[in-house]
Structure formats: C-alpha cells, structure tokens
Homo-oligomer: A and B are copies of this chain.
C-alpha cells in the first residue's frame, strides 16, 4: 500500500458516454486521485449533471473540448471513445509522457491487418500496437504495472478469456471446438440516437448480430493463441438483450480428456485464488443479477457426462469488469494503488 496522493490527476476523454461516466462515478469514490478535465465532443459546455443527473450535487464540472495541453497536465488519461477516435489521440498523449488507458479497441490487436479487417478502417498508428499492454490484470499484472499504454480488454473478451484461459493453459480442451454464445445489455452499444436501439424496438426482443464477423473475434483468438502457443479459431455469436447492463457468456467446449468438476475447480483455484474480482463455483449458475454494479466476474461450469462436453458460463457487468471497472483496476496497478481501491 502506498501513501495515497490526491494530487494524482486523472482525465477522461469521452466522459459523456456510458463508459466514460462510469469511470467518473468510480473515480469519485477513489481516495487517491483527483478527476478532471472531462473531455467530450457534442456535449462540450454542458454541465456533467445535466447529462448524468445522478451526479447532480456531486460534480459541478462541465464537459470541455479536447486540448492536448490540458490533457498533458494529467498523470493518466482514460480514453473512452468510439472506435477509431483513439487513433490520433493516443500517440499524442504518449509523446507527452501521459499514461493512457484506452477503453476502446484501437490498440488491442497486435496485427494491423486484423484491425483493418474487423474494424473496417486503416490503422494509422501501427507502431503503437506493440507498445500497448493488454490490460487483463489476472494474466498480465506485471506488464500492466510497468506500462505506459494499456489497451483495456473488450467487454465480450473479458467475459470469455477469464473462464477459458485456465483451461487453455492446462490443455484440457479441444482448441478446434470452442463455441461461444454471448448476450449483452444495450449500454454495450454506447450512447447514441438509433431507431434500432429504441425502447420500442429492443424491449421484448432478442437477436444475434454481427454473426461471424464481430470485431472482438480477433481479440479473443489473439489472447487464446498467446496462452495456447498455437493457432486457435473460435465461433463467437453475440446477441443483444433487453437489459441495460451485463454480459452473460455460455461456452460449449469439447474436452481432450474426461475431467471432473473438482479438477476444474482446482484449475481455477490455481490461477485465481488471490484474484480479488474472480469468483467461480461448480454449483451456482452465473447470472447478471450477481454481477451488475460490481467489478466481479462469476464463472460456472458443468461437465455433461452424456456428451463429454463442458458448458462454461460467465457473467460480468459490461460497464464495470467489461470496461470502466477493469480500467480503474488497471490504473490502480499502474499507479501503485491498492488494486481494489474505488471498486468495492
């Protein structure tokens, strides 16, 4: 535990969105940092409390236009921007010596060709891809602590990798049969005017989307391959749920050899027994209710003796462990705070 220094100043770019405002709420509870400036685009000039009325009486700041001079006075900047918008900002911040945690997907993939294929855009700062550390604390804590640039994992990949990586590391699953079915709340789609995301269309409805070409596929495969030491190809189908927050993931896996629930529990214990935000249980089936509003991931698993397959399930809050919560967890590691500060 370090002596907490309230003079550590933290800025947020994209503070008006769902992830950005969640960062703000978490940092207000954090005892070691001062927050601001809060950069936005279309909301510049508006009081924070106008867009986020729950913060009325607690935050009297207004959203400011992006300025590198303002930003460079911060120790660390969170980028919570739509896809592509971090491309010009992150290099600039790095050049000014500001630490960066990017909540978007612009710097997660090591391979710029993958970025182009799945994000449908050229990568304009590929030299930073190798410098960015993938911010999955449970697997990269040391690199995160030393990093200047952190690519915060995607919401779906977080919900998938944490349950899956221990099994990949142990080699117990068939790498050629990883079937992933995920379901997300609407805040995962960001804050924007869209007839498709209107209440009248989403309520009572469920549907798959971006079947077979979601931009999180290469991120998931990249992380699995690093641990597997070989090529891994997954089938990932995301669905939009009529809930505001939360991701539930159900994976169906073929086992290389018979394995029991206690053996699986032992695998998780080995990897995660000291992890403050990972919970697993062979008995309880994870649900959104157990994680929404928290930075936890819940993991459950069932071996089916009929089929020899393993059903692996997880739940996270897409805005917390899936975005802002994990970002603050990374910040805590990077800046030397207690890892759970502001998050319990």
Interface residues in chain A, defined as those with a beta carbon under 8 Å from any beta carbon in chain B: 18, 28-29, 50, 53-54, 56-58, 177, 179, 181, 183, 185-187, 189, 191-195, 197-209, 211-212, 217, 233-235, 237, 239, 241-246, 248, 250, 252, 279, 281, 284-294, 296, 298, 302, 304, 306-307, 309, 311, 313, 315, 344
Contacts and interface: CB of A to CB of B under 8 A. Distances in A.
A194 B153 CA distance: 29
6 contacts: A186-B200, A193-B194, A197-B200, A204-B246, A209-B285, A239-B250
Nearest to A309: B235
Tell me the interface secondary structure of chain A in the complex: mixed
B285 A207 contact: yes
Given A197-B199, A199-B199, 15 more contacts: A53-B289, A181-B237, A186-B200, A191-B198, A193-B198, A197-B198, A205-B246, A206-B288, A208-B250, A209-B285, A211-B285, A211-B311, A235-B252, A235-B307, A237-B250
Given A53-B284, A311-B211, A292 B204 contact: yes
Given A200-B186, A203-B242, A204-B245, A294 B250 contact: no
Contacts of A53: 284, 287, 289-290, 298
A197 to B, nearest CB: 5
Contact of A191 (B181, B195, B250): B195
Contact of A289 (B187, B204, B245, B315): B204
Contacts of A209: 285
Given A191-B195, A203-B244, A237 B252 contact: yes
A241 B200 contact: no
A11 B339 CA distance: 30
Contact of A207 (B58, B201, B248): B248
Nearest to A241: B206
A108 to B, nearest CB: 19
A56 B313 CA distance: 17
A252 B198 contact: no
Contact of A57 (B58, B211, B279, B285): B279
Nearest to A302: B211
